[in-house]
Protein backbone atom coordinates (compact mmCIF):
# COMPACT_ATOMS: atom_id res chain seq x y z
CA UNK A 1 0.00 0.00 0.00
CA UNK A 2 1.38 3.35 -0.98
CA UNK A 3 1.48 6.45 1.15
CA UNK A 4 -1.17 7.94 -1.11
CA UNK A 5 -3.48 4.96 -0.48
CA UNK A 6 -3.00 5.25 3.28
CA UNK A 7 -3.68 8.95 3.13
CA UNK A 8 -6.82 8.39 1.05
CA UNK A 9 -8.07 5.80 3.56
CA UNK A 10 -7.43 8.26 6.37
CA UNK A 11 -9.48 10.96 4.65
CA UNK A 12 -12.28 8.49 3.96
CA UNK A 13 -12.32 7.36 7.59
CA UNK A 14 -12.41 10.97 8.82
CA UNK A 15 -15.23 11.81 6.42
CA UNK A 16 -17.25 8.80 7.63
CA UNK A 17 -16.60 9.74 11.25
CA UNK A 18 -17.61 13.37 10.67
CA UNK A 19 -20.81 12.32 8.86
CA UNK A 20 -21.73 9.95 11.69
CA UNK A 21 -21.04 12.68 14.25
CA UNK A 22 -23.23 15.20 12.40
CA UNK A 23 -26.02 12.62 12.14
CA UNK A 24 -25.87 12.06 15.90
CA UNK A 25 -25.74 15.80 16.58
CA UNK A 26 -28.83 16.41 14.45
CA UNK A 27 -30.76 13.55 16.06
CA UNK A 28 -29.86 14.62 19.59
CA UNK A 29 -30.45 18.34 19.00
CA UNK A 30 -33.80 17.62 17.35
CA UNK A 31 -34.82 15.54 20.36
CA UNK A 32 -33.77 18.35 22.71
CA UNK A 33 -35.76 20.82 20.61
CA UNK A 34 -38.74 18.49 20.77
CA UNK A 35 -38.56 18.28 24.55
CA UNK A 36 -38.28 22.08 24.78
CA UNK A 37 -41.24 22.55 22.41
CA UNK A 38 -43.27 19.96 24.31
CA UNK A 39 -42.70 21.94 27.51
CA UNK A 40 -43.86 25.11 25.72
CA UNK A 41 -46.99 23.25 24.67
CA UNK A 42 -47.63 22.02 28.20
CA UNK A 43 -46.92 18.39 27.36
CA UNK A 44 -45.24 16.17 29.89
CA UNK A 45 -44.07 12.60 30.37
CA UNK A 46 -44.96 10.23 27.57
CA UNK A 47 -46.65 12.88 25.46
CA UNK A 48 -43.48 15.01 25.51
CA UNK A 49 -41.30 12.01 24.66
CA UNK A 50 -43.63 11.05 21.80
CA UNK A 51 -43.55 14.59 20.41
CA UNK A 52 -39.73 14.66 20.53
CA UNK A 53 -39.48 11.21 18.93
CA UNK A 54 -41.85 12.27 16.16
CA UNK A 55 -39.62 15.27 15.43
CA UNK A 56 -36.52 13.08 15.23
CA UNK A 57 -38.31 10.71 12.85
CA UNK A 58 -39.48 13.64 10.72
CA UNK A 59 -35.93 14.99 10.64
CA UNK A 60 -34.56 11.64 9.50
CA UNK A 61 -37.06 11.61 6.65
CA UNK A 62 -36.62 15.23 5.52
CA UNK A 63 -32.93 15.77 6.34
CA UNK A 64 -33.33 19.55 6.71
CA UNK A 65 -33.38 21.61 9.85
CA UNK A 66 -35.58 24.21 8.11
CA UNK A 67 -38.42 21.68 7.93
CA UNK A 68 -38.08 20.98 11.64
CA UNK A 69 -38.06 24.68 12.50
CA UNK A 70 -41.17 25.24 10.36
CA UNK A 71 -43.01 22.33 11.98
CA UNK A 72 -42.16 23.36 15.54
CA UNK A 73 -42.92 27.01 14.83
CA UNK A 74 -46.32 26.01 13.41
CA UNK A 75 -46.99 23.87 16.49
CA UNK A 76 -46.05 26.79 18.74
CA UNK A 77 -47.90 29.46 16.75
CA UNK A 78 -50.65 29.66 19.38
CA UNK A 79 -48.03 30.20 22.11
CA UNK A 80 -46.56 33.34 20.49
CA UNK A 81 -43.18 31.67 19.91
CA UNK A 82 -41.69 33.05 16.68
CA UNK A 83 -39.85 30.87 14.18
CA UNK A 84 -36.68 32.85 14.87
CA UNK A 85 -36.72 31.69 18.49
CA UNK A 86 -37.26 28.09 17.42
CA UNK A 87 -34.31 28.37 15.00
CA UNK A 88 -32.16 29.91 17.73
CA UNK A 89 -33.09 27.13 20.17
CA UNK A 90 -32.24 24.48 17.56
CA UNK A 91 -28.84 26.09 17.04
CA UNK A 92 -28.25 26.15 20.82
CA UNK A 93 -29.22 22.49 21.06
CA UNK A 94 -26.89 21.60 18.16
CA UNK A 95 -23.96 23.14 20.06
CA UNK A 96 -25.04 21.39 23.25
CA UNK A 97 -25.39 18.03 21.48
CA UNK A 98 -21.96 18.39 19.86
CA UNK A 99 -20.36 19.16 23.24
CA UNK A 100 -22.11 16.17 24.82
CA UNK A 101 -21.03 13.80 22.06
CA UNK A 102 -17.44 15.05 22.09
CA UNK A 103 -17.30 14.73 25.89
CA UNK A 104 -18.50 11.13 25.68
CA UNK A 105 -15.76 10.37 23.19
pLDDT digits 0-9 by tens, 63-104: 688 889 999 999 999 998 999 999 999 999 999 999 998 888
Looking at the structure of the chain, the number of domains it has is: 1
**Contact at 8 Å (CB) between 47 and 9?**
no
Is 79 part of any domain?
A: yes
Bigger pLDDT: 56 or 63?
Answer: 56
Can you give the pTM of this predicted structure? 0.84
Is 2 part of any domain?
A: no
Q: Which domain holds residue 68?
A: 32-105
Amino acid sequence: MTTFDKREQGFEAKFAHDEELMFKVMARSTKLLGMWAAAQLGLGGGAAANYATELVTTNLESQTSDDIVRKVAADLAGKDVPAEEVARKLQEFQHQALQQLEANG
